[in-house]
Amino acid sequence: MEYLGILCIILLATAVAGHLSRRWGIPAVIGQLLVGIIVGPACLGIVKSTAFVHTFAEIGVIILMFIAGLESDLGLLKRFFKPALAVAVCGVVLPVGLFYLLGLAFHFSQEEAIFLGVLFAATSVSISVEVLKELKRLDSTEGTTILGAAVIDDIIAVLLLSVLVSCFSDVSKADGGHVQSNLWLGLLFQVVYFIGIFFLVKWIAPLLMHLGERLSVSASVVLMSLVICLGMAYLAELAGLSDVVGAFFAGVAVAQTPYKQEIDSSIEPIGYAVFIPVFFVSIGLNMTFDGFWENLFFVVIMTLLALVTKWIGCGAGARLLGMSVSAANVIGAGMVSRGEMALIIAQVGYAARLLSERFYSSVIMVIILTTLITPFILKNAIRRQKRTAK
């Protein structure tokens, strides 16, 4: 029954850490991640990354990506598609290119260098949304563009991640360094899977949710949404993709049904009460400070590059669509945070051996730093915009 004690420690510690984080004005996820570092092998060594923790963390990341899909507003994306697309694409191309070169400079393999770029192409705007709400700018042109770009950014990052994991899996299973003969068959399965997502969004998810509503069981609609989520995650793995890909698009599909609000309000307590905190703690459990000082220069360079590539890249995308310099500055600043999306991608890449143990802790440190810095640079950008408008 040792696992009950482990779960009790994790939930109590993350609850306290989340509360203190909110009181100090930093994201709760940072507090939860720090819990993993403190109670894990890096510091106290009370909790270790066991099979139990791994299983709960896996469910946690699937639910987290499902919620991300649920909250992806496709209607908002349609309204601001052009500026959002320009911001998202520029904000992906620049980090992928420059971090790939950085990875090669630090003697990463080709796969690891590409993954590093994909990792820092991700954006999590939950922190930016809180700042925009606080300053009453969420429904402004800049705020709406940031939200729309984040939706596209998430989709691009998830697709790139799935391609990387799939290709790496094929290479790792090759005999004598040669790609398996069924590579094309695997790619065909993946194409069929993405075609299936269209049918899921259009017809299958609405039909299943309608059937779920007619079931004479408690929380039948929520239950059916979880069936879709877990089923799509499982099928994604069968197709050679990451399970988070299936969970994300399951959320997008369910969000297009009339049951979105009911499911969102019910799934979040399930995820955030148990499984998602364990996921963030599990990331901290894998961290170690061995060789930290040797990698300090790498951490500094990555942090600066992480800030510049999103800030300038997304800002350039806004400028291409004719927005003012001050508006582009706000949009760029709002897209800097890597947050949950980058943590998810880092964990998936680490499990798929696309991120070496040597640099894992350094990468997590950079994700934390960008997430903490974002509120300050976004508030400053908005203040400068207000001064310019006077």
Alpha-carbon distance of 6 to 173, in angstroms, equals 35
374: domain CATH number? Answer: 1.20.1530.20
Phi, psi torsion values for 175, nearest 5 degrees: -100, 120
pLDDT at position 176: 45
- Does residue 215 lie within any of the structural domains? yes
- Does residue 33 lie within any of the structural domains? no
C-beta of residue 192 within 8 angstroms of C-beta of residue 161: no
Instruction: Output the six-digit token pair for 300.
Output: 């500094």
- Does residue 284 lie within any of the structural domains? no
> In a 10 Å sphere around its CB, with 0-12 CB exposed, 13-18 middle and 19+ buried, how is residue 185 labelled?
exposed
Alpha-carbon distance of 341 to 255, in angstroms, equals 19
To which residue do tokens 């700042």 refer?
A: 131
Mean pLDDT per 10-residue section of the chain, whose length is 390 residues: 87 92 79 89 88 91 87 75 92 95 93 94 76 76 85 82 73 46 67 90 93 90 95 88 84 92 91 91 83 85 95 94 92 89 88 87 89 86 84
- Does residue 108 lie within any of the structural domains? yes
Note down the domain range covering 134: 64-275+292-389
State how many domains the chain has.
Answer: 1
| H or E stretch at 88 | helix 81-105
C-beta of residue 378 within 8 angstroms of C-beta of residue 334: yes
- Does residue 223 lie within any of the structural domains? yes
| Cut 0.85: pTM above it | no
- Does residue 248 lie within any of the structural domains? yes
pLDDT at position 128: 78
pLDDT at position 160: 85
- Does residue 225 lie within any of the structural domains? yes
**Alpha-carbon Rg for the chain in angstroms:** 21
Phi, psi torsion values for 157, nearest 5 degrees: -65, -40
- Does residue 219 lie within any of the structural domains? yes
C-beta of residue 276 within 8 angstroms of C-beta of residue 58: no
pLDDT at position 153: 85
